[in-house]
C-alpha cells in the first residue's frame, strides 16, 4: 500500500507506477483511469459470477479544481493501452443524439471489421445553462440502463443498418475528466448516474520517480486480452475473497441512516463497484478473483468514498466511521484464501461452448456468413499462410476461402475462432492434412515434417487452440509438440 492508501495490483498497477511520473500525473489517477479504460475494452467477453447480468465496466469521473487537461489523459491512455485492447473513444457525448451517433459508428466499424463493439465516453456529459451544468434526462436514462446491464441504446442510420440491427448494442463505459463546477451537475440534477460512477478528486503529480520497470505489463495485458476473448470467462471468487466482498455488501445498509437519500444511493453501490474493479484486475492476471484483488479494489473505492464526501461538502463524521469499520473488518477476515478457477463459457470438449448470442468482439455470436464476412474483411482476402491475394478480372476483384479448422463434418462451428482465411491452394492442403498448425500457430508440412513460419494473425482474430489440436490430432496424431512462444511475437496485420 502506498502513502495515499492505494494498493496497486497487476499489470495495470505496474503501468501506472511506471508511466505516471514521466507524464506528470499522479499514479493513482492513472491507475483509476486505466482500470476504467481496460474494463470497457474487455466488457464484451468477461463477467463476474456475483453479478452475471451486469457488464464489467468501471465508470469513473476525475475531478480537477480548475479546467482539467483531459486531452493529455486520453492521449496517454490511448498510447499505452490501445494496443492490448482496441477501443473507440467518444468525447463530450452530452445528449441522446450524440450517444446514438457514437453507438451507430461503433457498430458500423465492428460490422466492417475495423473496430470492436465497445466504446468509452470521455470529456463531460454535462451542458452549461442558467442553472449550472446539467445532464439531459434522455442521456441519463440510457447511461443508467447501460451500467445496469440492460442495453437499450438508441440507434440511427440508414435502413439497412436498422434492418440488420443486433439485439444488443455495443458495450460502453465512461471516463469523465471534469472541472469542479461541471461535477456539481451531478448534484444539481439529482442524476441517477451519480451513484453509478466512482468520483475521484485529482491529485497533483508527485515528484518524478525513476522506478525501474521491465515493461512486462504490455505483454501481460496483450495476453490477457487474447485470453478474455478466447475463453470468455465468468470469474469466480476464492473463499477469502468472497468473504471480503460480503463484508462490503453487508456494510451498504449502514450508509442509509446518516446520509441524505441521494448520497445513500451512491454508497449503497460500493459493493458493485468493488466487484467490478476486482473482476477487472483479476482478468488482467487471467485468474479468479482473489483477496488481493478485493483489497486493491476496496482501496480505490475507499478513496472514491472520501473524495465524494469532500466534493459534495458532506459532514465527514457521517462517512469516516463506516470507512474505518470496513477497513477493520475487510483486512481482518480470517478465513483461508482457498482455491477457485475462472469458469470458462466455452467448456472443454463440449459443443455448447458458448452462451447464446455471444461471440468474438461482439454481443452477438458471429456465425455462418457473418463470421466469414468479418474474417475476409479483417484480412482483405489475403491468405494467412502464404500471403497470396488472388486477383480476379471481375466485379469481385479478390477471392479467398474460409477454411474450418475443426471440420464441419466433425461438428466444427461456423465461428471466427474456428476459421482461417486461405487461398484455394492452402485451403486444399490444410483440409487434406498436408499442413497442420502447432499450438503457437506455426505451419507444419506433414509430408516433409518441416516447420515453416507462423500464420499471419489479425489482432482481433483469436483462434481457439482446441480446434487447432483437434485438426492436428486428426491428421498427425500426437507426434507434433506445441511450440512455446509469447503471444506478442505472433505477426500482426
Across residues 356-373, what is the average pLDDT? 48
Region 252-269 average pLDDT: 66
- pLDDT of residue 488 exceeding 50, the answer is no
Residue pair 465/348 in contact by the 8 Å Cβ criterion: no
On whether the CB atoms of residues 59 and 174 are closer than 8 A, the answer is yes
Residues in contact with 399: Cβ distance below 8 Å, sequence separation at least 6, in sequence order: 381, 390, 392, 424
pLDDT: is 449 or 293 the higher one? 293
Let me know: does 295 contact 244? Beta carbons within 8 Å. Answer: yes
Q: What percent of the chain has pLDDT over 90?
A: 36
How far is residue 418's CA from residue 431's CA, in Å, rounded to a whole number? 13
Q: Which segment of 158-167, 201-210, 245-254, 420-429 scores lowest on mean pLDDT?
A: 158-167
Q: What is the pLDDT of residue 265?
A: 67
Q: For residue 226, what pLDDT is reported? A: 82
HEC string of 310-364?
HHCCCCHHHCHHHHHHHHHHHCCCCCCCCCCCCEECCCCCCCCCCCCCCECCECC
Strand arrangement, sheet containing 435-437: 435-437, 442-445, 451-454
Is it the case that residue 344 has pLDDT exceeding 80?
Answer: no
Whole-prediction pTM value? 0.74
The pair phi, psi for residue 132, each rounded to 5°, is: 100, -165
Q: What pLDDT is stored for residue 353 in this prediction?
A: 32
Q: List pLDDT tens digits, range 101-124.
A: 998 888 887 776 667 788 999 999
Q: Which residues contact 127 (CB under 8 A, 6 or more apart)?
A: 94, 95, 133, 134, 135, 136
Asked if the model's pLDDT at residue 16 lies above 70, the reply is yes
Task: Report the pLDDT averaged over residues 421-437.
Answer: 94
pLDDT score of 150: 64
Segment 459-484 shows an average pLDDT of 73
Q: What average pLDDT does this structure show over 304-322?
A: 86
Q: Provide the grid cell at 344.
A: 470458462
Percent of the chain with pLDDT over 70: 77
C-alpha–C-alpha distance, residues 175 and 29, integer Å:
11
Residue 242 clears pLDDT 80, i.e. is over it: yes
Mean pLDDT of 60-68: 78
* Residue 457, φ and ψ in degrees, nearest 5: -140, 120
Q: What is the pLDDT of residue 440?
A: 86
23 band by pLDDT with thresholds 50, 70 and 90: confident
Lowest mean pLDDT among 95-104, 211-220, 288-297, 455-464: 211-220
The more confident residue out of 259 and 171 is: 171
Backbone φ and ψ for 402, nearest 5 degrees, come out as -95, 115
Amino acid at each position: 500500500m502506498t502513502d495515499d492508501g492505494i494498493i496497486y495490483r497487476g499489470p495495470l498497477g505496474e503501468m501506472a507506477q511506471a508511466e505516471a511520473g514521466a507524464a506528470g500525473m499522479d499514479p493513482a489517477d492513472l491507475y483509476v483511469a486505466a482500470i476504467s479504460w481496460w474494463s470497457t475494452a474487455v466488457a464484451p467477453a468477461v463477467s463476474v459470477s456475483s453479478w452475471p447480468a451486469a457488464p464489467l465496466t468501471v465508470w469513473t469521473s476525475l475531478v480537477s479544481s480548475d479546467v482539467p487537461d483531459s486531452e493529455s489523459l486520453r492521449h496517454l491512455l490511448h498510447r499505452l493501452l490501445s494496443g492490448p485492447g482496441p477501443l473507440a473513444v467518444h468525447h463530450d457525448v452530452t445528449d441522446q443524439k450524440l450517444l446514438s451517433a457514437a453507438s451507430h459508428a461503433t457498430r458500423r466499424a465492428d460490422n466492417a471489421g475495423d473496430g470492436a463493439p465497445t466504446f468509452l465516453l470521455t470529456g463531460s456529459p454535462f451542458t452549461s445553462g442558467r442553472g449550472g451544468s446539467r445532464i439531459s434526462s434522455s442521456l441519463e436514462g440510457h447511461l443508467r440502463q447501460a451500467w445496469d446491464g440492460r442495453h437499450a441504446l438508441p440507434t440511427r442510420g440508414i435502413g439497412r443498418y436498422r434492418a440488420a440491427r443486433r439485439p444488443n448494442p455495443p458495450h460502453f463505459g465512461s471516463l469523465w475528466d471534469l472541472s469542479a463546477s461541471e461535477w456539481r451537475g451531478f448534484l444539481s440534477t439529482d442524476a441517477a448516474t451519480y451513484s453509478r460512477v466512482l468520483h475521484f478528486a485529482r491529485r497533483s503529480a508527485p515528484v518524478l520517480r525513476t522506478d525501474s520497470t521491465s515493461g512486462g505489463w504490455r505483454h501481460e495485458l496483450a495476453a490477457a486480452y487474447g485470453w478474455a476473448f478466447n475463453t470468455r470467462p465468468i470469474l469466480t471468487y476464492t473463499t477469502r475473497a468472497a468473504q471480503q466482498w460480503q463484508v462490503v455488501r453487508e456494510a451498504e445498509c449502514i450508509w442509509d441512516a446518516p446520509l441524505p437519500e441521494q448520497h445513500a444511493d451512491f454508497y449503497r453501490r460500493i459493493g458493485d463497484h468493488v466487484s467490478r474493479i476486482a473482476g477487472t484486475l483479476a482478468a488482467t492476471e487471467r485468474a479468479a478473483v482473489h483477496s488481493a484483488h478485493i483489497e486493491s479494489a476496496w482501496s480505490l473505492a475507499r478513496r472514491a468514498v472520501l473524495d465524494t464526501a469532500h466534493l459534495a461538502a458532506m459532514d465527514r463524521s457521517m462517512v469516516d466511521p463506516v470507512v474505518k469499520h470496513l477497513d477493520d473488518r475487510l483486512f481482518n477476515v480470517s478465513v483461508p484464501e482457498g482455491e477457485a478457477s475462472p469458469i470458462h463459457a466455452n467448456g472443454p470438449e463440449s459443443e455448447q461452448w458458448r452462451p447464446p448470442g455471444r461471440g468474438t468482439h461482439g454481443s452477438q455470436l458471429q456465425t455462418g456468413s457473418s463470421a466469414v464476412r468479418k474474417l475476409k474483411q479483417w484480412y482483405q482476402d489475403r491468405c494467412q499462410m502464404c500471403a497470396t491475394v488472388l486477383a480476379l478480372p471481375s466485379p469481385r476483384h479478390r477471392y479467398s476461402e474460409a477454411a474450418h479448422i475443426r471440420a464441419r463434418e466433425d461438428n466444427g462451428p461456423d465461428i471466427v475462432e474456428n476459421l482461417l482465411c486461405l487461398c484455394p491452394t492452402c485451403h486444399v492442403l490444410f483440409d487434406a492434412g498436408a499442413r497442420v498448425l502447432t499450438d503457437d500457430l506455426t505451419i507444419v508440412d506433414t509430408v516433409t515434417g518441416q516447420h515453416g513460419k507462423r500464420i499471419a494473425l489479425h489482432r482481433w482474430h483469436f483462434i481457439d487452440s482446441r480446434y487447432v489440436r483437434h485438426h492436428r490430432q486428426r491428421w498427425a496424431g500426437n507426434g507434433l509438440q506445441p511450440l512455446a512462444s509469447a503471444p506478442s511475437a505472433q505477426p500482426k496485420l
